[in-house]
Amino acid sequence: MGNEQQGGTTTAANKIEPATGKLGVMVVGLGAVATTFIAGVEAVRRGIAKPIGSLTQMGTIRLGKRTDNNSPLIREYVPIAQLNDLVFTGWDIFEDNVYESAAHAKVLDKDLVEQLKPFLETIKPLPAVFDQYYVKRLHGTHVKTGKNKRDLAEQVRADIQAFKKTVDRVVMIWCGSTEIFLEPAAVHQSIEAFEKGLETDDIGIAPSQIYAYAALSEGVPFANGAPNLTVDIPALIELSKRNSAPICGKDFKTGQTFMKTVLAPAFKARLLGVSGWYSTNILGNRDGEVLDDPESFKTKEESKLGSLDYIFQPELYPDLYKDIFHKVRINYYPPRGDNKEGWDNIDIFGWLGYPMQIKVDFLCRDSILAAPIALDLVLFLDLAKRTPELRSIGIQEWLSFYLKSPQTREGLYPEHDLFIQSMKLKNTLRHIMGADLITHLGLEYYD
């Protein structure tokens, strides 16, 4: 059962293209999360701060037996891009550069933002693809115009092509606002139907899908930090596979859902029942304002509600989880800014049905939790693009770890349990590097 490779180079690892040259990061929406991500990377590059919360930067991976004592840093074991090689650009519906937008978001201390000003103010947004029908609370002024949605997609493709000339590889990440709730429709069912819909300005195609279509058409991997439908449709899954442009799930798993996908697996592992889970949040940033619109909230609500059902599997454990009352609320409360407070009241029951309660009060910083996720997704999607075994499968299920709504092949239920997701991610890294998987069986120690 030993690991012969011990983290050394293997045939499988040899096939991964090296991360040489510059990695261009195209960010859609330069708001609180995006500016915290970009400023954070620059602060780390300058040695001013540490990349806390980032698995790619601080995480280790065990190779071989526990007794081998071989746990290299992930970034030294797997060929991911170096932070010094990241180059940023993006789009926004407002003209503010990243310095102005970071100052407006008030996530980072003024001192830090001022220190980084010369770098941050060089990143100026390109005009966005935007339509207020899809985000009611925003009124964009820095937007592209075109004769139809296809024309807009072509303009985004031209932006990508121009950026590609200045860097070696490109990844796109949506850090834009939450769009209204859209159900998959006929226009989403095939690439042909989607392209026809672009011509006819089909209402089922949201701006996020125009960016994603442009990225995938250019062979560029695409990540989605918001709960929008975006690439969760047959047309774009197919395009992702056709053009070897990896995609993953949606909606950064940061605060409350992160806690849910930690606590729920624990209750299930101990066979403790749950009768109710009430979650409420107060949030005062622009994201909170957008989510105050019922149509955008519905998109978020669906994403936040999904996890429990999949973790608890009520069909397998009807006595424990069949009748859970699960409610999620988000209230816009400006005084808190980006510092969200999320409360959870969990009604559980134990031996012989006796009830108990758990209260969680998470005073979190939304964008501080989201920024390292954005970084890791960008670096791992770029790795997937350079890995022959991963690049043409489309959906990268191993990145579920980072997302409230993991994406899976049709007919496959998503894994929401954070610890299963973490194991899946690390085993995928071991696998592509040609190392033995770790199953935690451990019988070999007792031979």
Ligand X SMILES: NC(=O)c1ccc[n+]([C@@H]2O[C@H](COP(=O)([O-])OP(=O)(O)OC[C@H]3O[C@@H](n4cnc5c(N)ncnc54)[C@H](O)[C@@H]3O)[C@@H](O)[C@H]2O)c1
Residue numbers of the site for ligand X (CB under 6 A)?
28-34, 91-94, 105, 128-130, 135, 138, 175-178, 207, 225-226, 251-252, 254-255, 285-287, 366-367, 369-370
Least Å from the CB of residue 286 to ligand X: 3
Q: DSSP for 88-119?
A: EEEEESS---HHHHHHHHT-S-HHHHHHTHHH
Q: How far apart are CA 203 and CA 210, in angstroms?
A: 12
Least Å from the CB of residue 336 to ligand X: 13
Q: How far apart are CA 229 and CA 224, in angstroms?
A: 9
- At which residue do the structure tokens 């910083």 appear? 365
Q: How far apart are CA 51 and CA 135, in angstroms?
A: 32
Closest to ligand X by CB, 78 vs 116, is 116
Least Å from the CB of residue 110 to ligand X: 17
Task: Give the count of alpha carbons within 13 A of 97, CB side only.
Answer: 12
Q: How far apart are CA 179 and CA 105, in angstroms?
A: 20
Closest to ligand X by CB, 39 vs 390, is 39
Closest to ligand X by CB, 219 vs 288, is 288
Q: Helix, strand or coil for residue 336?
A: helix
Closest to ligand X by CB, 299 vs 396, is 299
Least Å from the CB of residue 287 to ligand X: 4
Least Å from the CB of residue 213 to ligand X: 13
Least Å from the CB of residue 419 to ligand X: 20
**Those residues with Cβ within 8 angstroms of residue 20's Cβ, 6 or more apart along the chain or in another chain:** 168
For 84, which DSSP code? G
Closest to ligand X by CB, 29 vs 406, is 29
Closest to ligand X by CB, 129 vs 259, is 129
Residue nearest to ligand X (CB): 31
Report the length, in residues, of the chain: 447
